Amino acid sequence: MSPFIFFISLSAFNMGLLNSKSKFFIPAFSPTIFNLGVILALLSSFYLFDLTIMNLAYGVMFGSILQFLYQLPYIYINNLGYKPSFSNILNTKTIKFLYIVGPQVLGLGIYNINILINTQFASFMEDGAITYLYLSERLLEFPLGIFAVSIAITSLTKFSEFSYKNHIEKISDYLNERMKFLFYLLTPCAIIFIFWGLDICKILFERGEFLSSDSNNTSKALLAYSSGLIFIGGVRLLTQVFFANKNTKTPFKLSLYNLFWNIIFCYLFAFKLDLGFVGLALASSASSLVLFFSLFYNLSSEKINLSLNNLLGYLLKILALCITTLFLIDLFFSLIPWVLLNDYAIFAKIIIFILLYILFSYIFKISELYLIRQ
C-alpha cells in the first residue's frame, strides 16, 4: 500500500495544476479511473485468484497508478510538465509555499480531529451509533462532493485571478453569485434528506443484519446532519476566498476555535439534552453554522462584501420552492397509494422532484438554473 501514498499525492498535485489552467473535467473525472482500477483488480482476484485483503490492497495501489497515468497526457498537452529535483529544495519560493500551505494542512487535521471526537462520543452510546453516524455522513458527502466541492474548486481559480489583479469588487460579486448557486443546488438535497431520508436509508441499507430500526436511526442522524448541509458547503466556498488572498491563517484559527465549539455542542446536545447520536450529528451542523458566520464576519478583513440580507432572502425563496415541490409530490402519491407499496417509489419521487424543481425555476426565472450549463 505504501506506493499508493506516492501516486495519489502526485495525482492530487496534477489536479491542482490542471485546475490552475481552468481544466476541471479531467481532475474531476480522474478519481473514476482510480475506482475502475480497484474494481478491475477485485474482479480479476475474484475470478482468477483468491479475494483476499492483500489483493484488495494491491487493487488500491493499482487504481492510484492508473489515475496518475491517466492524467499525464493532459499535463503535457497543457505544458505543465515537471520533473523531480533535489537541489536547492529550501529556497524562498518553497519557504513561502510552506508558510501559506502549513495552516491549511493543520486546518484539515482539525477537521479529522472533529470526526474523531464525534466517533469517541458515539462509542459510549448505544450499539450501532457509530454506524448510524458513518452512513448518514456518507450520504451527506454525496451532494457535498458533487456540488460544494465542485463549486469551491472552480471558484478558486477566479478568486485567485481577481485577487492577483486586486479586483476586490469582482471577488465580492462573484462570491455572492457562487453562494446563491450553492444554495440553489444544496437546499433541495437537504430537503430531500430531511423529509425522505427514511425511505432513502431503507432502500440503500436495509438488508441482512441491517434492520428497519437501523434505517430509522440512520435517517434521524441524516436529518440532523442535513440541517447544516448548506452551511457546510458554504464553509468550503468561503475558505477559498481566504486561500485566494493567500490568507490561510484565518481559516485555520477559526477552525481551531470551531473544534472547541464542536466539543461543547456534542456535550450539550448528546448528553445534557439526552439526544444521543442524533445530538452528535446536530452538534456538527451547529458548529458548521458557527464556522460559516465566523468566516463571513472575517471577510471584512479581506475588504470583501457578502450581502447577508440578499442571501437569506434568496435562501427563503428557494426553501419555499423546495417545500412546495415536495408537498405537491407527496399529495400526488397519496392519491395513488398502491405506488407507495413499491420499494423503489422513492426513486420516482426524487426524479419528479428534480424535474419539477427545474420547471419551477424556469417559470419563476431563477437565474441560477442557467449556471448549471457552466
For residues 220 and 165, give the distance between their C-alpha atoms in angstroms, rounded to a whole number.
Answer: 47
Task: Name the more confident of 16 and 354.
Answer: 354
**Quick check: 94 pLDDT over 80?**
no
CB 198 within 8 A of CB 255: no
Tell me the three state secondary structure of residue 307. Answer: coil
* Residues 193-244 pLDDT 10s: 999 999 999 999 988 888 899 999 999 999 999 999 999 999 999 998 988 8
What is the mean pLDDT of the segment spanning 303-323?
91
What is the CA angle 128-133-139, rounded to 5? 125
For residues 86 and 180, give the distance between their C-alpha atoms in angstroms, rounded to a whole number.
Answer: 45
Question: How sure is the predictor about 108, in pLDDT bands with cuts at 50, 70 and 90?
Answer: low
Q: Which residue has the cell 447577508?
A: 308
For residues 287 and 262, give the distance between their C-alpha atoms in angstroms, rounded to a whole number.
Answer: 5
Question: How sure is the predictor about 373, in pLDDT bands with cuts at 50, 70 and 90?
Answer: low
For residues 136 and 224, give the distance between their C-alpha atoms in angstroms, rounded to a whole number.
Answer: 9
* Residues 341-360 pLDDT 10s: 566 788 889 999 999 999 99
Ordered by start, the domain boundaries in the chain are 2-77, 92-373
pLDDT of residue 305: 83
